[in-house]
Amino acid sequence: MKSSSPLKWFATREGLYYVALAVLLVVLLPLALDPFRLNMVGKYLTYAFVAIGLVMCWGKAGILSLGQGVFFGLGGYCMAMFLKLEASTPEATAIQSTPGIPDFMDWNQLTELPWFWEPFHSFSFTLLAVIGVPVLLAFVIGFAMFTRRVGGVYFAIITQAIAAILTILIIGQQGYTGGVNGITDLQTLNGWDIRTDEARTILYFVCVGMLFLCLFVARLVQNRKLGRILVAMNAQENRVRFSGYDVAAFKIFVFCLAAAFAGVGGAMFTLIVGFMSPSFIGIVASIEMVIFCALGGRLSILGAVYGALLVNAAKSGFSESFPELWPFAMGALFIGVVLAFPNGLAGLYQTYVMPLEDKIFKRNKGAQLEAKPAEKAAEPKPTAEKTSDYDPMIDSYSPEKS
Amino acid sequence: MFDGYTSSELMSIFAMQGFAGLSLFSVFVLMALGLAIIFGQMGVINMAHGEFMILGAYTTYLTSGFFQSYLPSLFGGYFFVAMVLAFLICAALGAFVEWLMIRRLYHRPLDTLLATWGLSLIMQQAYRSIFGAREVGVDLPEWMMGAIQVTDLVELPINGLFVMIIALSIAVGVYFLMYRSGYGKKVRAVVQNRPMAEAVGINSAGIDRATFALGCGIAGVAGAAFTMIGSTGPSSGQAYIVDTFLVVVFGGAQSLIGTIVSAFGISQAQSTMEFFLSGSMAKVLTLLVVVGILMLRPEGLMALKVRR
């Protein structure tokens, strides 16, 4: 699917899927929803970052991390620390016994800012840390585990334990982290009030922009030799190793990549929602992130975006009207996705909608632009199931992996 | 951290905390044994294990209620009935779950993790709908209350001792089942080399189902024992699940002795540190040390040496 000009790429079939997603996120949803709902969609989209990372890490390379919430949370906390420091000027906190430090520190009898908070006065450092801290932790974990050839279930359990450790640590160290309430009452970003409707709409578009950036990075990786090696590693790790590739290095790379995506997602989450708390880090939150990816299709980066949107929208919908039914639905979703359609919505799309598309494409040869309305017509629910990208590897998913 | 304590005080602290650690140890052993035989046999991690345990706990709760209203004269012995019932109910449900989903996923262990997580969500919500979100407790029979005074500073509660005895007897029972019975021989054959075991005529699918049911049944007994030392809520199982996974992995996945040793080490470390540090820091430190050791020695404390 390589074309010489980037503009031409948008008229290819794969390009059209991206265009369709862009139209949905940039035009349709902002027109259809009020600022409050749009802000919620923005929140769902921040989870899509994690889901894209999981597609690369779990779907392609076969490394299931049940601790993606850790990286999401670290990114989010880095951003929240910066915003909290900005909100805690000596003037704004004059009633505290120690003005100039965040309010929860004052409540916990801290009299000066802890050393690891100091660098977060700087915005550029914060931006660096949002990606750097998660990647660093992912590198340490990945290096320790993958060079010793730990994988599969063991890796999943250890990442889960790390999620548990970080949550307990944050809740326990209330004076340094804000405890179970998290870091709340965030107001401005470099003097710009992030709580107004206007600011939230702008942040939504920033989030969509970042999402597409991440999508293109992920696409770049998956379409190169690098991506093929990741997939090969998943299917036959030893053959890849014996062909002379350093399997551990590739695994560390993809784990760090997923961590970086999750960190960016976390930072956007803090900006859009306006606070950060340990409940987005823990075991339950981390496993939920896997289902976003599994529902969308574990091999499809575009599917991951739809998966995150759908699961979260369903969660909000259920929680508003039938809160006691949601865990049943969620549980059934986990079991159903795994047992009935392991390739998720993208797999269903490929099996049932793509053949229809093929016919349409053949009929409109040379006039690809018309294919887009036709594609819309080919499916009953336009926002729900338009899920797949052109990926020749998708049907080669083999359940027989280690 | 030992400043300000005399040596005799320190000894008593260690003895008391050590005993508190032993109740934790009993719960860990009971939960981890079930998980370990399932994981060792099939390479499957059952994320709903904690919920099976809670099923056992609720069974005990119902049984105690039944004895209180209909057979008050036999109330002292209800626990033994409850234990058997908990085992049977959990084992039956386990066999059903194995038939329904686990057997379809043997080649995809990571997917089993997700499917059983879904099962755990459903079970938790079912408990919440049936028994309510509040924690329930059982009334202990007369003979289980009170404590044995060992020295002036050290006293041991009887219910804790009782739970420990149950844990150890089940551990011994599992040992005999695994190493001294025909069934155990078949299980070990399948663990070591599945195709060869099948080639000599062992019904490996049947063994799988029996083992899964056995593991779930032991989880049920763990739940029954758990009611003796704590109250039961819909999500109590989840509180222990990560620790239990770590116990199993840390001990070496296919070694029962390793599981018991690591359960002992983790529970003792946690409860001793709890006295000197805050509870959350003790837990963080214990988990960090375990994860750290696992990074250096991923096969766990006592790995079974198998040619792959």
Residue range A209-242, pLDDT digits in tens: 999 999 999 999 988 888 899 989 888 888 999 9
Assigned domain for A280 exists: yes
Assigned domain for B257 exists: no
ipTM of this complex:
0.84
Structure tokens at B37: 């035989």
Assigned domain for B244 exists: no
Of B43, B121, B290, the CB nearest to A153: B43
Give the type of residue at B11. M
Assigned domain for B165 exists: yes
Structure tokens at B77: 């012995």
Q: What is the pTM of this model?
A: 0.85
Q: Please, which pLDDT band fits residue B53 given cuts at 50, 70 and 90?
A: very high
Is pLDDT at B175 greater than 80 in this prediction?
A: yes
Number of structural domains chain A divides into: 1
Q: Please, which pLDDT band fits residue B152 given cuts at 50, 70 and 90?
A: low
Q: Which of B117, B236, B108 is nearest to A288 (CA)?
A: B117
Look at residue A140 in the predicted model and tell me its pLDDT: 92
Q: Which residue of A has its CA nearest to B291?
A: A158
Place of tokens 């899964």: B212
Assigned domain for A402 exists: no
Look at residue A269 in the predicted model and tell me its pLDDT: 94
Assigned domain for A241 exists: yes
Assigned domain for A264 exists: yes
Mean pLDDT to the nearest integer, A383-395: 40
Q: Which residue of B has its CA nearest to A283?
A: B242
**Cβ B278–A290 below 8 Å, yes or no?**
no
Alpha-carbon distance B246 to nearest alpha carbon in chain A (angstroms): 7
Alpha-carbon distance A242 to nearest alpha carbon in chain B (angstroms): 17
**Residue A363 falls in which region: left (phi positive, over 0), alpha (psi -120 to 50) or beta:** alpha
Look at residue A147 in the predicted model and tell me its pLDDT: 87
Q: Which of B278, B242, B227 is nearest to B26 (CA)?
A: B227
**Cβ B249–A158 below 8 Å, yes or no?**
yes
Q: Decide if B239 touches A, using CB distance below 8 A.
A: no
What is the CB neighbour count within 10 angstroms for residue B6? 8
pLDDT > 70 in chain A, percent:
89
> In this structure, are strands A188-189 and B147-149 parallel, antiparallel, or unpaired?
unpaired
Look at residue A1 in the predicted model and tell me its pLDDT: 46
Domain with A169, as residue range(s), is 6-396
Mean pLDDT to the nearest integer, B96-112: 86
Assigned domain for A256 exists: yes
Mean pLDDT to the nearest integer, B177-186: 88
C-beta separation of A175 from A105 below 8 A: yes
Assigned domain for A1 exists: no
Is pLDDT at A390 greater than 80 in this prediction?
A: no
Number of structural domains chain B divides into: 1
C-beta separation of A274 from A141 below 8 A: no
More confident call, B9 vs A1: B9
Mean pLDDT to the nearest integer, A318-329: 84
Among A58-72, A298-312, B11-25, name the one with the lowest average pLDDT: B11-25
pLDDT tens figures, A6-24: 677 777 777 788 888 888 8
Of B114, B119, B283, the CB nearest to A294: B114
Place of tokens 């490929």: A350
Of B118, B242, B249, the CB nearest to A335: B118
User: Of the ranges A74-78, A294-298, B13-17, B78-82, which is most confident?
Assistant: A74-78
Assigned domain for B293 exists: no
Q: Decide if B89 touches A, using CB distance below 8 A.
A: no
Look at residue A363 in the predicted model and tell me its pLDDT: 67
Look at residue B153 in the predicted model and tell me its pLDDT: 64
Is pLDDT at A69 greater than 80 in this prediction?
A: yes
Q: Which residue of A has its CA nearest to B235?
A: A284
Q: Please, which pLDDT band fits residue A190 given cuts at 50, 70 and 90?
A: confident
**Cβ B288–A165 below 8 Å, yes or no?**
yes
Assigned domain for A289 exists: yes
Q: Decide if B278 touches A, using CB distance below 8 A.
A: yes
Q: Residue B232's beta-bridge partner residues? A: B136
Distance CA B253, CA B272 (A): 26
Domain with B62, as residue range(s), is 20-238
pLDDT tens figures, A125-158: 999 999 999 999 999 999 988 888 877 788 888 8
Is pLDDT at B301 greater than 90 in this prediction?
A: no
Element (H, E) at B156: strand B155-157
